[in-house]
Structure 1
C-alpha cells in the first residue's frame, strides 16, 4: 500500500463501527473512565493547591519572608546596607524586624504564649504581600504609637480582648531572662500595650499566637538581634537573590552576616506538603491503571474479532506496524476524547469550586430533608436545624474553599489520561504481529 493516510481512516471506521455495536460498550466505558480520572484528579489537585499555596504564601508573606539576614547591624552601617539591598534588581522590599517570645495576658482574663514581632510603622506600605494577606476585622495596622499592639483574631478571642483594651506582654526572650531579682519575675519584662487592631491571616497558627508591635518599642523590652526580611520579585529565584546580596555583603566587616532562604527554614513543612501532594496524585492516578486495563482487554478482543480483516490488510501489503497503528489510533481517539472531556469538566468545576460545592451541599440537604420528612412520623425525630456542609466553618478554619490551577500540572494530568489509553492500545495490539495472512484466509 502506498502512503500511510489510510491508517487513520480505517481506525476511525473501526471505532465508529464498534461504537454502534450495542454488545460492546467498552469504548464508551473507557472514555468515561478516563474522563472521570482526569476530572477527579484535576479538581482534587486544584483544591489541594489552593490549601497548600494558601498556607505557603501566608508563611512567606507574613512570617518568614523570602530571604532573611540575621544579626543585622542596627547603626548607620545597617541603614546604608539596607538601602543597597533594596536597590538590587531581584529585591522587591526589605523590612527590618525583631521577634519576641512572650506571654500575653488579657485585661479581663486568660493568657497565652505568643510570638510578637516588632515592625516599622510603614511595614504595610513597604510590603504589599503582607498587606494583602493580613485582613483586619477590627481596627487597622497602626504602629505609630509606641504602645500599640496588633493581635491575631483567635488570640484576641482567647484573651477576650477588643479594640481599646490594655494587654500585658511578658517577654521571656533575651539573655537576661534568667538573671535579675527573682521577685521581679526573674528578669522578665512586663509591658502594657493598647490593642489597635485585630487581624486574620488565613493561617490558624498565626491568628492564635501572633502579634505586632512598634519595632523601637521591641528593642526596649528585648535584646533579640535585629533581622532584615527580604521580599523578592520572584520567590522561586531565591538562589539568584542570595548571590546578589552576597556581593553587597562583600565588605569584610559584614562577613558575619548570614543570608538564608525560605527553602532552608521551612524545609520540613514544605517537604511534608510536597509528599502529601505526591501521594494524593499517585492514589487518584490509580484510576488510570484500572481504565488502562479495561482498554487493554477491549483492544485485545477487537484484535481477535478482526482477524480476517487484519489478514486481508496484510495480504494486500500492509506491514505489521501499519496494522498495529490502526488499533493504536483507536486508543489515541479514546484517550483524547476521555482526557479532553474530563479536563474541560475539571477546569469548569475547579474555576467555580464554591458554586459546585454549594450545589452539592444543596442536593445532599434536599435528600436529607426528604429523609427527615419520611422518617420523622415513625422515629419521632425533628429535622436538624443546621444543614450539611462539606467544609463547615465550625470544623475547618476556612471561609471559602480555595482552588489553584498550575498549568504544568494540568498538562501532566491530561497526558496521564492520554497515555494510559495509548499504552494500553499499544500492548494490546501486539497480537497483530502474530497474525499470519495465509492461515487466516485459508478458510475464507
Structure 2
C-alpha cells in the first residue's frame, strides 16, 4: 500500500528507526539533537531578522515623525517667494499637506549649563504631528508672544529646565557692530516638552514659531524651505520627481529615501549579513544530522540486508532514510518556526520584564537610535527560512540514504 510517493511500510520503518532501543539510545539521541539544533537555528534566524526588521521600521518611523517626506529649498540659503512655492507644492498629487520652516543652529543655555541644538521654526497650525508628541505642557502657538519653545525631554533634563522656565538661545547669525560680528541672543519661554522616542531629536531639537526665528535672525518673511508630507511615504521618490518638474528652476528637492539612503542601505546589508552568518547554525545542525544518519545506517546494516533479501529495492531503502531525514528536519523546522514566531511576537514585553527584574537597560537611547528592542515579523522572510531549512535538510539526507541503499546483503549477513 502506498501513501503518495512513499509506501506505508517505509513510513513505519522510518519511525521505528528514529525510536531508540536500549542499545541504541546514544545514536537516537544524536539524531534528535540534530533536529533540536535545526529548531534552534530556525528560531534564532526568525527572531534576529524580526528584530533587525523592527529596528529599521522603528527608526524610519521616528525619523519621519519629526522630519518631512520631501524637502523643498530654493537656490540660496533662504527662500523669499515661498507662498507661491507652497501653493504649487500643495497641488501636487499625493501631498497631504505642506508647511514652511526655518532651521538654524543655536546655543541653548540655562544657568551655568549650555548645549548646542537645532532651532526649528514651524507653522504651529500645520504641525499636528509634532504637537502629538508633547508629554508635558502645551504646544507652541497659543500664547501671546511668539518667543516660546518646546524641546525634547532629554535636552530639558540636561539643561535642568521645566515648563515655564526661560531658556536663552544664542544664534550665530549675528549682526555687525563696531566691535565686529556679534551673535544674537533672546530669552524664550519653555511651554512644552516632547518625547519623540528618538534620542537624536529628544536631545538636539527645539521647536518654536516661524515668526520667532525670523525675528531672531532678522530674516524678514524668508524661510529655509518647505516640507511636504504625503499620504503614502513610500511614494516620496515619485512625488519628488513631479515637484522638480513643476516648481521653478533652481528648486532643490530631496526625499527622505535620498536623505537617509546610506543609513538604510547599511541596515539592509547588516540584515543580510546576519542572516548568512546565523544560517551557519542550521548548517551545523544539518551536518550533525548527516553524521547521525550515517551512524544509524551502520547500526542497521543487518536489518537493511534482510530487507533487501526479502525484496526491498534500492530506491525503497533510500526512501526509508530520506523519510528519516525529512522527519528530523521537518520537526526541527516547524518547532523552531513556532518558537521563533512566539518569541518575536512577545520579545519587547519579555525584554522589558527582564530589564525590570534585573534593574538594567539593554539598549540606551543615548548610545543607540532607539531605547528598546522592537520586533516586526516579516512573514516572507519566515517562509524563506522555513523553505531553506527544509531544502538543506532534504539535501543532507541523500548521502546517508545512498549509503544505506548501497549496503551489500551478502557481506552484511556473512558473519551474522
Structure 2 partner of 1:29: 33
Distance 1:425 1:228 in 2: 62
- In structure 2, distance between residues paired with 1:394 and 1:83: 36
Task: State the alpha-carbon separation in 1 of the partners of residues 96 and 408 from structure 2.
Answer: 70
Counterparts of 1:243 and 1:314, CA distance in 2: 75
| Partners of 2:53 and 2:376 within 8 A in 1 | yes
Q: Which moved more, 1:72-81 or 1:285-294?
A: 72-81
Following superposition, the deviation at residue 29 of structure 1 comes to 1.1
* Partner Cα distance (1:258, 1:270) in 2: 22
User: How far apart are the structure 2 equivalents of 1:432 and 1:201?
Assistant: 63
Give the drift of 1:6: 5.2
Find 2:250's aligned residue among 244, 256, 261. 256
CA pair 9-261 structure 1, distance change in 2 beyond 3 A: farther
Match of 2:206 in 1: 211
Instruction: Specify the SS of the correspondent of 2:332.
Output: helix
Q: Structure 1 residues 361 and 120 mapped into 2: Cα distance closer, same or farther (>3 Å)?
A: closer
Question: Out of 359, 367, 375, which is 1:403 matched to?
Answer: 375
Specify the alignment match of 2:281 in structure 1: 287
Structure-to-structure mapping, 1:35-434, within 5 angstroms = 35-63=39-67, 65-71=68-74, 74-85=81-92, 88=93, 90-106=94-110, 108-125=111-128, 127=129, 130=130, 134=133, 136-145=134-143, 146-173=146-173, 177=174, 180-181=176-177, 183=179, 186-222=181-217, 223=219, 225-249=223-247, 254-306=248-300, 309=304, 312=307, 316=311, 318=313, 320=315, 323-357=317-351, 387-389=358-360, 391=362, 401-431=373-403, 434=406
Distance in 2 separating the partners of 1:436 and 1:356: 55
Name 1:375's counterpart in structure 2. none
- How does the TM-score come out when normalised to structure 2? 0.82
Tell whether the 8 Å contact from 1:46 to 1:404 is kept in structure 2 after alignment: yes
Which deviations, in whole Å up to 9, do the C-alpha atoms of 1:113-167 show, x marking residues without a partner? 0011111112333x4xx566x3x23112223441121111111112221111111
Query: How many angstroms does 1:291 deviate by?
Result: 0.5
CA RMSD of aligned residues (A): 3.4
CA offsets 1:353-380 (integer angstroms, 9 cap, x no match) = 2443366568xx6xxxxxxxxxxxxxxx
**Conserved 8 A contact 1:144-1:214:** no
Distance 1:354 1:276 in 2: 21
In the alignment, the residues of structure 1 paired with residue 366 and residue 224 of structure 2 have an alpha-carbon distance, to the nearest angstrom, of 38
Deviation at 1:77, TM superposition (A): 1.7
Stretch moving more, 45-54 or 339-348: 45-54
Superposed CA deviations along residues 182-208 of structure 1, whole A, max 9, x for unmatched, are 647x24222221111111111222111
The alignment partner of 1:193 has SS state of: strand
Higher strand share: 2
Partner Cα distance (1:392, 1:317) in 2: 60
The whole-number CA distance in structure 2 between the counterparts of 1:8 and 1:196 is 77
Which stretches in structure 2 are left out of the alignment for 5+ residues? Answer: none
CA, structure 1 residues 294+119, in 2 after alignment: closer, same or farther (shift >3 Å)? same
TM-score norm. by structure 1 comes to 0.77
Call closer, same or farther: CA 1:156–1:16 in 2, change over 3 Å: same
- Shift in Å, 1:400: 5.2
Task: For 1:318 and 1:245, locate their aligned partners in 2 and report how far apart those are by CA, in whole Å.
Answer: 71
Q: Deviation per CA, 1:408-427, whole angstroms, max 9, x where unpaired?
A: 22223333432332232234
Tell me how far apart the structure 2 counterparts of residues 61 and 318 of structure 1 sit (CA, whole Å): 66
Contact 1:31 1:338 in 2 (8 A): yes
- 2:121 and 2:213 in contact (8 A); partners too: yes
Q: 8 Å contact 2:363–2:373 — kept in the other structure?
A: no
